[in-house]
Each structure stands twice: as C-alpha cells, then as structure tokens.
Amino acid sequence: MSTILELQGVTKAYDQYTVVDNFNLQVTMGELRCLLGPNGAGKTTTMDLITGRQKMTSGKVIFNGRNISGMTEHRIVQQGIGRKFQIPAVFKDLTVRDNLQVAFTRTTNPFMNMVEFGRGGGRARLQEVVELVGLEKRLDELGGNLSHGETQWLEIGMVLTQNPKLLLMDEPTAGMTEQETQKTSEIFNRLKGEHTLIVVEHDMTFVREIADIITLMHLGKTLAEGPMDEVENNPKVREVYLGTEGISDAA
Ligand SMILES: Nc1ncnc2c1ncn2[C@@H]1O[C@H](COP(=O)(O)OP(=O)(O)O)[C@@H](O)[C@H]1O
Ligand SMILES: [Mg+2]
C-alpha cells in the first residue's frame, strides 16, 4: 500500500496563535480518511493548506511523491487534487448535463465547449461520473430545480469530471436529509479505491459507514488516529469531549 499524501510538520500560525500545529498526516492511496474534531480544531485550514488556498507558515506537503508545498492553487489542481466547496458552484439555468460538460471543459463558451468535449473523451467520462453520483435520471433537469442533496451530488460530479486522484470535501452532508446522507455514503463507497478521499464530517452515523481511518484533530494537532472503534474508546478523546455525549457531539 503506497502513500499518496503526506503532511510533514505542517504549521499555520497567525501572530502568536497557532491554528495548525506541526501536523503530520499520511493517507494511503484509495482510502477514505475522515477528519474529525471540535469546531476550530483546524480541519478547514488543513484543507486550505493542502490545496494551496492558504500559505503554510512551515512544513511540507508531499503528494504523489512530489513536494507541492508553495505551489499555486491552480497547479495543485493540475497535480490531481480536487476539492468540493460548500459554496454552490452549480449553474442554476443550465441542465445537469450542461453543468457537467462545462466542468469537464472548463469553458462556458458553447462552441469551445463542444470542441473540447469531443476532443477530451468527454462523453464517456460524463457517463461514468453520472453513474458514480447517481444522477442518471436527472440529466435534463435544470440545476436550479435540483434538491439540496442532488445539488451536492452534482457538485461532486463536477469535481470528478477532472478525475482527481485525491478529493477533499468539507462537511458534504451538511443540510441533507437522512435519506440523502444515506445515498451520499453509497456514493463515497463507490468512489473509494479509484479515488482517495479526505472528508471532514460531524455526522457519526455517516462517518461509521464511510471511514477507513479517522484522524481526530484538536488544537491543530492529532489527538487520536485509527479505526472508528479504537478512536471512540480512546480515553484522550473522551476527555476532550468531557461532559458531552462523546465523539458524536463534535460540532
Ligand atoms: N484569518 C485568521 N486569523 C486568525 N485566526 C483564524 C483565521 N482563520 C481561521 N482562524 C482560526 O483558526 C482556527 C481553526 O479554524 P478552522 O480551520 O476553520 O477550524 P475547523 O474547520 O476545524 O472548525 C479557529 O480557531 C479560527 O478562529
Ligand atoms: Mg471547518
């Protein structure tokens, strides 16, 4: 099993306040890692540091054997790291199919879109992606008519058109119904293996269904790491969530 992503002593400090503190992480190719921890633990910042959205104070990020520290956001995407943001990226007045096509070719110019789509093997990839995110029956629907869950799945699909080796998602099930969350876990389990995923999530039922390994962050550091059952029963973890129902209260 080979490592696809490695964080070595990654640190982000604002003045005297250290948000991500000498943080180390190793993710194996094809695994689904859940990043947990209370609010302010440094989860989103860690994703920002991996994707180059924020600059590290110190440390190193190795992706696919390559040091990507200090690369621009754009170049990091080109290395094969995709990210789904919480801010909606779907065009409301385009169909699901057209949204995916635009994501694939990265142009809204209809002519260029057609040319690039034909050249890049778009049709086959689009079909694959549509099946992965389960939107086969919604291809002709306008983006604006999708439910909250469907919008999230379309966005995941849009990131997938670029075929990222590593996919980062911050709270993907936020605002979803129980049924939508269930379907999302099925999608993630389909993505595993072919893609490596890092998912920040609070819904412990969901985490239990998708996670291979959990990394629990606290104050910018790893508090515990391992399979769900192990982390849950770790006394240090119980201490952090003292006075609460336990890990499932992590918000
Ligand atoms: N620009 C900033 N200046 C100072 N502190 C910041 C800044 N951005 C985020 N923080 C702090 O960094 C900590 C970690 O934030 P974040 O990574 O968003 O945590 P999480 O996603 O785990 O909830 C928080 O305490 C937050 O207040
Ligand atoms: Mg966050």
The ligand minimizing its distance to the Cα of 86 is 2
Atom of ligand 1 nearest to the CA of 20: 14
Contact yes or no for 83/169 (Cβ under 8 A): yes
158-180 b/e (C-beta count within 10 Å ≥ 16 → b): bbbbbebbbbbbbebbeebeeeb
Supply the CATH number for residue 22's domain: 3.40.50.300
Mean pLDDT by 10 residues, the chain (251 residues): 95 94 97 95 97 97 97 95 84 95 75 65 84 96 96 95 94 94 96 95 92 95 94 84 58 48
Cα(120) to centroid(ligand 2), Å: 35
- Domain, as residue range, for 122: 91-145
Same domain, 48 and 104: no
Tally the domains of the chain.
2
Same domain, 56 and 171: yes
User: What is residue 132's three-state secondary structure?
Assistant: helix
- Domain termination site, one of 110, 145, 180: 145
User: What is residue 248's three-state secondary structure?
Assistant: helix
Same domain, 26 and 137: no
Q: How far apart are CA 104 and CA 138, in angstroms?
A: 18
Atom of ligand 1 nearest to the CA of 200: 21
Candidate of 45, 46, 223 to mutate for ligand 1, largest count of ligand atoms within 8 Å of Cβ: 45
For ligand 1, atom 25, name the residue with the nearest CA. 40
- Residue 171 is predicted with a pLDDT of 93
Q: Tokens at residue 50, please?
A: 């991996």
Q: How far apart are CA 95 and CA 82, in angstroms?
A: 22
Same domain, 71 and 170: yes
For ligand 1, atom 13, name the residue with the nearest CA. 40
Contact yes or no for 251/237 (Cβ under 8 A): no
Burial of 128 (0-12, 13-18, 19+ CB in 10 A): middle
Q: What is the pTM of this model?
A: 0.91
Same domain, 120 and 168: no
151 within a domain of the structure (yes/no)? no
For ligand 1, atom 4, name the residue with the nearest CA. 14
Same domain, 116 and 204: no
Cα(192) to centroid(ligand 2), Å: 23
- Is the dihedral angle over the CA atoms 133, 168, 45, 88 positive or is it negative? negative
Q: Tokens at residue 76, please?
A: 């990091």
Can you tell me which residue has the tokens 């096509």? 101
Same domain, 136 and 169: no
Cα(144) to centroid(ligand 2), Å: 26
Cα(126) to centroid(ligand 2), Å: 30
Atom of ligand 1 nearest to the CA of 48: 17
Atom of ligand 1 nearest to the CA of 46: 17
For ligand 1, atom 24, name the residue with the nearest CA. 40
Same domain, 221 and 183: yes
Cα(54) to centroid(ligand 1), Å: 12
